[in-house]
Structure formats: structure tokens, C-alpha cells
Amino acid sequence: MKANELREMTMGELNEELRELKSELFKLRFQHATSRLANPMQIKAVKKDIARIKTIIRQREIEGMKAQ
């Protein structure tokens, strides 16, 4: 997912996407532990997406604090 796409989402959508990605990461880690994961690089990609979402959420929190 690209950062520009994420910035267009609302906070609710970002939180929902974050929840889904965390669930997917859990499943990927489980598959990796049981040696059924075809592409281990998927874990890295999901982690980066989670980090992007958390960064955007934090930026919006900071902007909200400055507006007060």
C-alpha cells in the first residue's frame, strides 16, 4: 500500500486496516513457523505497511494537538 492511498483514508478506515494487517501478520508468522509460508518476504511487506499506517496516525495526532 502506498502512503498517498493511506493519507486519503479516515481515521476509522486506518484503524480497521491496521487491525487487518496485524491479523495477517499473525497468520504469516504462524505459517512461517510451521514451514508452510511460500514467500517469507510477505512478512517484511506487511510490517512496512503497519509502520506506514502507524506513522500516518501519529502525524494526524500531532496535527490535532497543534490545532488546539
C-alpha separations of 54 from 13, 39, 40 in Å: 12, 24, 22
- pLDDT at residue 68 above 90? no
Question: How crowded is residue 27: how many other Cβ atoms within 10 Å of its Cβ?
Answer: 12
Average of per-residue pLDDT values in the chain: 95
pLDDT value of position 19 = 98
pLDDT value of position 1 = 77
In the chain the domains, ranked by start, together with CATH numbers, are: 3-67 (1.10.287.310)
The pLDDT tens digits of the residues spanning 14-30 come to 999 999 999 999 999 99
Q: What is the pTM of this model?
A: 0.92
The pLDDT tens digits of the residues spanning 26-55 come to 999 999 999 999 999 999 999 999 999 999
